[in-house]
């Protein structure tokens, strides 16, 4: 079969389609966005009408995927690592309800925070939920594990966490496909109260989850993806998780590592294989792209296993993405650098695009705030977070999706006047609506600027649930119609924007200002592309 | 046959089109490929880079180790210098000389070109100008690929067929404009690599 050149993210999408998936649910988030986008544009997915529209947020996505699983069909839900925090309630409980159709929760972690607020490691969430975790080391394994993950989920009747990191998600390689499977037919759960987590039933379900733990451990022991490679030099044994295995082999010509190596791609940790390598070797180097998840479990609190080395003893930096050079140094190899970066090279941070509407609203806001004082603007996750950088220095917070409005509320409760929130349209419908309702409930004096570029811009211009209904949402939540003000953010309307901002900043109640102009990136896409997109949205 | 290549530029300059052409050429010829890209926030006018590895043998790491890149292809002169620690001892640096200035403290172009001149193996080419000369002003990235082609461990014909495969949908004319740009870049590099 012809090889496909796919990103790791796309390989997962293709694997899930070929594995008989009936629906994918997701909210865009780097580095996970391309999984769903691939399904949206895939011929088989379109022919089969696999569900592939975006969800409002990761929690709604997780729940909808669980609903599809309830109906007996195979579903995947995708998100970035911090998205799993949003979906956590549904995620943890889905392990207790168990599944009917196979359910894969794909989470893309972002060590080194290329595009994120933190570098949390989702494997902890998988362990917390007590479900199997799959961690592919390369694009082919990403395909294969997505393809086979549904079987694993259906065999043990629990969701499966598929964990990748940025590097695998955003790197291409050739992929060989497996035969296309048919989709599951609708079937109801055998037990009609399987999904009813009333305490009496939840206790039963939880005991069931505990009871299968030994089976999940056995599955890891027997997994073809947890491979023990013998080696003659037993002064060091290496445990390499996921993509770390590649960085290890990069350091040995011909991929011949002289040390025993245990490659881990399926969790729970395979106990006997670990026991074997630990007993055999003098020291154990643990390589993982993320937190010291395996290393910490092996060392234990009392550090009886002092022969375990890795991020916790400092031979590998405690934070940041792994790479072949870090692994080389941990192996005691020299990393040679022949050319250094000349001093004249300057930083080039990302910036708001030329012609972007956020620029105009920040210009107006900054001028207005001169009258009201500094450090009163709370913001959120999106392109507009770049307003924190020069030349604007316009915002004072960026914490999590939707937090701008709620933090502005808390600051207003504390007495800060005016208290301002700047949030994007897609972030608002993701997690800002309930925050606004809190403000309405108490008529808290906050000014919420929903900078509406009618797309999810930061991740590449996905559809926004807010498009065409923002005013109705705000008024429906109880904001007074006269305090919902729509502006056109263009330099020529600067004075008008300042005037409206001033009026609302002086108002002792909830006001919403909606500067609305389409994202310059989506606006400049060719007409043809836009046409294709519209057809897809309607299908 | 093995080439480890760093591609660099500024978000929005389209370095992925160069990577995609090389990868397509390599895939058609059953070589192993790893092509690491930047998505997300950095794409907004920030410094971007892509690690591209092609080989007859299986490739392990998606990232090229420091000091091991055979080639840096940069569509922007200052960005070409940012990734020098990855360049191997005898590696080539091939860069466009047209600056992309979107920061207030962008250094003097003469100083940048001076730093490039210090490298033992380099090609500095005004790809925008050459693209205009061959009447294909939007193909400066293909000029860059052409300029890098003598240093790629890949037969030149593979690149032309890669272009045909990628741009084929857009019609014969677009394919030809890109191939013209590729050739012009290649000729420039062959002429200048001896000096």
pLDDT tens for B112-160 read 999 999 999 999 999 999 999 999 999 999 999 999 999 998 899 999 9
d(CA A433, CA A428): 6
CB contact under 8 A, B43 and A336: no
At A251-302, the pLDDT tens digits run 998 999 999 999 999 999 999 999 999 999 999 999 999 999 999 999 988 7
Task: Give the pLDDT band (50/70/90) at residue A537.
Answer: very low
Class of domain B2-192: alpha beta
Smallest Cβ–Cβ distance between A349 and the set B46, B64, B79 belongs to B46
pLDDT tens per residue, range A66-106: 999 999 999 999 999 999 999 999 999 999 999 999 999 99
Q: Are B10 and A347 in contact (CB under 8 A)?
A: no
Q: Which residues contact B132 (CB under 8 A, 6 or more apart)?
A: none
- Tens digit of pLDDT for each residue in A177-187? 999 999 999 99
Fold of A357-523: Rossmann fold (3.40.50)
Residue B12's CB: how many other CB atoms inside 10 A?
A: 16
- Length of chain A counted residue by residue: 539
CATH 3.40.50.920 domain span(s) along chain A: 227-330
Q: Could you tell me if A337 lies within 8 Å of chain B, comparing CB atoms?
A: yes
What is the reported pLDDT for A525?
Answer: 75
Q: Determine the pLDDT at residue B39.
A: 76
pLDDT recorded at residue B45: 84
Please compute the mean of the pLDDT values over residues A492-521 and round it to a whole number: 97
Inter-chain CB pairs, A–B, below 8 Å: 151
Mean pLDDT computed over every residue of chain A: 95
Instruction: Select from A7, A250, A335 the Cβ nearest to the Cβ of B60.
Output: A250
Instruction: Give me the residue label for tokens 């005004």.
Output: B126
Q: Would you call A170 an interface residue with chain B, using a CB distance cutoff of 8 Å?
A: yes
- Phi, psi (rounded to 5 degrees) for A459: -90, 5
| CA A246, A251, A255, A258 torsion-angle sign | negative
What is the CATH number that goes with domain A227-330?
Answer: 3.40.50.920
Using CA coordinates, name the residue in chain B closest to A171: B36
Q: Which of A247, A8, A233 is CA-nearest to residue A134?
A: A8
Ranges in chain A annotated CATH 3.40.50.970: 4-211, 357-523
| Neighboring chain B residues of A335 at a CB cutoff of 8 Å | 65-67
A29–chain B nearest CA distance, Å: 8
Closest by Cα among A500, A400, A524, A393 to A447: A500
Q: Band of the pLDDT at A535, cuts 50, 70, 90? A: very low
Q: Among residues A473, A481, A351, which one has the least CA distance to residue A405?
A: A473
The torsion angle over the Cα atoms of residues A139, A145, A148 and A149, rounded to 10 degrees, is -140
Determine contact, residues A259/A231, Cβ cutoff 8 Å: yes
A175 touches chain B (CB under 8 A): no
Q: What region, left, alpha or beta, does residue A192 occupy, with left being phi > 0 and alpha being psi -120 to 50 degrees?
A: alpha
Rounded Cα–Cα distance for residues A396 and A350 (Å): 18
And the tokens for A515?
């500067």
Average pLDDT over residues A406-417: 98
A338 touches chain B (CB under 8 A): yes
B115 → closest Cβ in A7, A344, A351:
A344
Model confidence at A65: pLDDT above 50: yes
Q: Based on the number of CB atoms within 10 Å of its own CB, is B73 exposed (0-12), middle (13-18) or buried (19 or more)?
A: buried
What is the Cα–Cα distance from A21 to A78, expressed in whole angstroms? Answer: 13
Å between A521 CA and nearest CA of chain B: 10
Per-residue confidence (pLDDT) for residue A451, from 0 to 100: 98
Residue listed under structure tokens 């109801």: A188
* C-beta of residue A513 within 8 angstroms of C-beta of residue A487: yes
Question: What spatial distance separates the first Cα and last Cα of chain A, rounded to whole Å?
Answer: 30
Contacts of A171 in chain B (CB under 8 A): 34-37, 51, 62
Residue B124, H or E segment: strand B122-125
Packing angle between helix B156-167 and helix B172-192, nearest 10 degrees? Answer: 150
Token couple for A48:
């089969």
Q: In a 3-state reduction of DSSP, which class is residue B90?
A: strand
Using CA atoms in the order A424, A430, A434, A436, what is the torsion angle rounded to 10 degrees? 10
Paired with A233 in beta bridges are none
Contacts of B44 in chain A (CB under 8 A): 350-353, 383, 386
Q: Which contacts of A250-259 are long-range, i.e. CB under 8 A and separated by 24 or more positions?
A: A250/A324, A250/A327, A250/B60, A250/B61, A250/B65, A251/A324, A251/A327, A251/A328, A251/A331, A251/A333, A251/B65, A255/B58, A255/B60, A257/A229, A257/A231, A258/A231, A258/A232, A258/A233, A259/A231, A259/A233, A259/A234, A259/A235
pLDDT in tens, A425-469: 999 999 999 999 999 999 999 999 999 999 999 999 999 999 999
Largest CA distance in chain A: 78
| φ/ψ of residue A325, rounded to 5 | -75, -40
DSSP one-letter string for A234-284? TTEEEEEETTHHHHHHHTSGGG--SS-EEEE-EES--HHHHHHHHHH-SEE
Question: What residue segments make up the domains of chain B, in order of their start?
Answer: 2-192
Q: How far is CA A446 from CA A149, A360, A395, A418, in A?
A: 47, 21, 15, 7
For A355-389, the pLDDT digits (tens) are 999 999 999 999 999 999 999 999 999 999 999 99
What is the predicted pLDDT for the residue at A1? 60
Q: Which of B114, B122, B84 is nearest to B6 (CA)?
A: B84
For β-strands A171-175 and A4-7, DSSP reports them as antiparallel
Q: Give strand pairing partners of A105.
A: A77, A161
* DSSP reduced 3-state for A56: coil
Q: Using the predicted structure, report yes or no on whether residue A152 has a pLDDT greater than 70.
A: yes
User: Does B119 sit within 8 Å of A167, measured CB to CB?
Assistant: no
Q: Under DSSP, is residue A517 helix (H, G, I), strand (E, B) or coil?
A: coil
Place of tokens 């694993």: A152
Residue spans of chain B under pLDDT 70: 40-42, 194-195
Res. A306 pLDDT band, cuts 50 70 90: confident
- CB distance B60–A114 less than 8 Å? no
Q: Inter-chain contact B10–A353, Cβ cutoff 8 Å?
A: no
Fold assignment, A4-211 = Rossmann fold (3.40.50)
């Amino acid at each position: 079969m012809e090889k496909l050149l796919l990103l790791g993210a796309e390989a997962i999408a293709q694997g899930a389609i070929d594995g008989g998936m009936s629906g994918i649910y997701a909210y865009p988030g780097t580095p996970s966005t391309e999984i769903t986008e691939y399904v949206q544009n895939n011929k088989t997915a379109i022919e089969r009408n696999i569900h592939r529209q975006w969800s409002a947020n990761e929690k709604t996505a997780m729940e909808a995927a669980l609903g599809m699983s309830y109906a007996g069909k195979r579903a995947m839900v995708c998100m970035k690592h911090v998205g799993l925090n949003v979906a956590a309630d549904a995620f943890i409980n889905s392990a207790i309800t168990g599944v009917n159709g196979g359910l894969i929760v794909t989470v893309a972690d972002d060590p080194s925070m290329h595009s994120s607020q933190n570098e949390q490691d989702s494997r902890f969430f998988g362990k917390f939920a007590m479900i199997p975790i799959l961690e592919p080391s390369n694009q082919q394994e990403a395909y294969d594990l997505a393809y086979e993950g549904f079987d694993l989920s259906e065999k043990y009747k629990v969701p499966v966490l598929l964990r990748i990191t940025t590097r695998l998600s955003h790197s291409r390689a050739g992929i060989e496909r497996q035969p296309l499977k048919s989709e599951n037919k609708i079937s109801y759960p055998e037990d009609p109260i399987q999904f009813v987590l009333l305490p009496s039933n939840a206790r039963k379900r939880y005991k069931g989850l505990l009871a299968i733990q030994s089976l999940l451990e056995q599955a890891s022991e027997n997994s073809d993806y947890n491979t023990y490679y013998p080696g003659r030099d037993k002064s060091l044994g290496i445990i390499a998780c996921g993509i770390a295995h590649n960085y290890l082999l990069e350091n040995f010509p011909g991929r011949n590592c002289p040390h025993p190596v245990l490659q881990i791609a399926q969790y729970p940790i395979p106990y006997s294989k670990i026991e074997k390598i630990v007993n055999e070797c003098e020291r154990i180097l643990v390589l993982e792209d993320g937190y010291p998840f395996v290393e910490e479990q092996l060392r234990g609190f009392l550090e009886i296993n002092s022969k375990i080395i890795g991020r916790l003893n400092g031979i590998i930096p405690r934070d940041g993405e792994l790479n072949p050079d870090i692994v080389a140094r941990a192996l005691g190899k020299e990393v040679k650098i022949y050319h250094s970066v000349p001093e004249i090279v300057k930083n080039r941070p990302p910036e708001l695009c030329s012609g972007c509407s956020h620029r105009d609203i920040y210009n107006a806001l900054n001028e207005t705030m001169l009258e009201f004082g500094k450090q009163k603007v709370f913001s959120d996750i999106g392109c507009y977070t770049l307003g924190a950088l020069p030349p604007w220095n316009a915002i004072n917070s960026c914490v999590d999706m939707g937090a701008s409005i709620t933090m502005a509320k808390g600051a207003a409760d504390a007495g800060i006047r005016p208290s301002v929130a700047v949030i994007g349209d897609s972030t608002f419908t993701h997690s800002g609506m309930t925050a606004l309702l809190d403000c309405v409930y108490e008529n808290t004096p906050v000014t919420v600027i929903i900078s509406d570029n009618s797309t999810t811009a930061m991740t590449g211009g996905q559809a926004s649930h807010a498009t065409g209904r923002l005013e109705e949402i705000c008024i429906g939540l109880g904001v007074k119609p006269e305090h919902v003000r729509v502006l056109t953010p263009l330099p020529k309307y600067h004075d008008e924007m300042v005037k409206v901002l001033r009026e609302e900043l002086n108002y002792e109640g909830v006001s919403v200002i909606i500067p609305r102009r389409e994202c310059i990136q989506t606006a400049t896409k060719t007409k043809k592309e836009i046409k294709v997109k519209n057809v897809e949205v309607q299908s | 046959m093995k080439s480890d290549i760093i591609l660099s530029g500024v978000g929005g300059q389209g370095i992925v089109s160069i990577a995609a052409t090389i990868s397509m050429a390599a895939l058609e010829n059953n070589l192993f490929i790893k092509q690491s890209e930047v998505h997300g926030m950095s794409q907004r006018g920030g410094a971007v880079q892509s690690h591209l590895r092609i080989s007859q043998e299986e490739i392990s790491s998606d990232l090229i180790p420091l000091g091991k890149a055979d080639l840096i292809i940069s569509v922007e002169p200052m960005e070409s210098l940012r990734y020098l620690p990855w360049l191997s001892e005898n590696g080539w640096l091939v860069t466009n000389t047209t600056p992309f200035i979107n920061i207030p403290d962008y250094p003097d172009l003469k100083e940048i070109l001076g730093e490039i001149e210090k490298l033992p193996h380099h090609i500095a080419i005004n790809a925008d100008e050459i693209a205009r000369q061959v009447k294909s002003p939007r193909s400066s990235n293909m000029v860059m690929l052409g300029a890098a082609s003598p240093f790629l461990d890949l037969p030149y014909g593979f690149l032309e067929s890669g272009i045909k495969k990628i741009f084929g949908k857009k019609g014969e004319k677009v394919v030809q404009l890109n191939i013209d740009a590729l050739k012009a870049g290649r000729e420039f590099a062959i002429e200048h690599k001896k000096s």
